[in-house]
Amino acid sequence: MIIGVPKELIESDPRVPLIPETVKSLCKLGADLHIESRCGESIGFTDEDYQTAGAKIIIDRGEVLSNADIIMRLHKPPTEEIAKLKKGSTHISFFDPFNDHKLLDSFIGAGVLSISMEMMPRIARAQKMDALSSMANIAGYRAVIFAAEKIDRILPMMMTAAGTIPAAKVFSCRSWCCWSSSYCNC
pLDDT in tens, the chain (186 residues): 999 999 999 989 898 999 999 999 999 999 999 999 999 999 999 999 999 999 999 999 999 999 999 999 999 999 999 999 999 999 999 988 899 999 999 999 999 999 998 888 777 777 777 777 777 788 888 888 888 888 877 666 556 666 666 655 554 555 545 544 555 555
Helix (H, G, I), strand (E, B) or coil at 72: strand
In a domain, 17, yes or no: yes
Q: What is the pLDDT of residue 162?
A: 65
Let me know whether 6 and 84 are in one domain: yes
Let me know whether 62 and 89 are in one domain: yes
Let me know whether 16 and 86 are in one domain: yes
Instruction: Count the alpha carbons within 13 Å of 107 in the hemisphere toward its beta carbon.
Output: 21
In a domain, 124, yes or no: no
Domain total of the chain: 2
The count of other CB atoms within 10 Å of the CB of residue 63 is: 14
| pTM for this entry | 0.74
Let me know whether 139 and 113 are in one domain: no
Closest CA to 46 of 31, 57, 30: 57
Let me know whether 109 and 17 are in one domain: yes
Q: What is the pLDDT of residue 157?
A: 58
Q: Which residues contact 29 (CB under 8 A, 6 or more apart)?
A: none
Q: What is the pLDDT of residue 83?
A: 95
Helix (H, G, I), strand (E, B) or coil at 166: coil
Give yes or no for a contact between 186 and 175, defined as CB atoms under 8 angstroms apart: yes
In a domain, 33, yes or no: yes
Q: What angle do CA 17, 104, 23 make, to 5 degrees?
A: 15
The dihedral formed by the CA atoms of 72, 74, 79 and 81, expressed in degrees to the nearest 10: -40
Helix (H, G, I), strand (E, B) or coil at 106: helix
Q: What H or E segment, with its residue span, contains residue 175?
A: none
In a domain, 29, yes or no: yes
Let me know whether 58 and 97 are in one domain: yes
Please report, as a single letter, which amino acid is at residue 88: G
The count of other CB atoms within 10 Å of the CB of residue 131 is: 16
Question: Domain range spanning residue 93?
Answer: 2-119
Let me know whether 77 and 110 are in one domain: yes
Let me know whether 84 and 12 are in one domain: yes
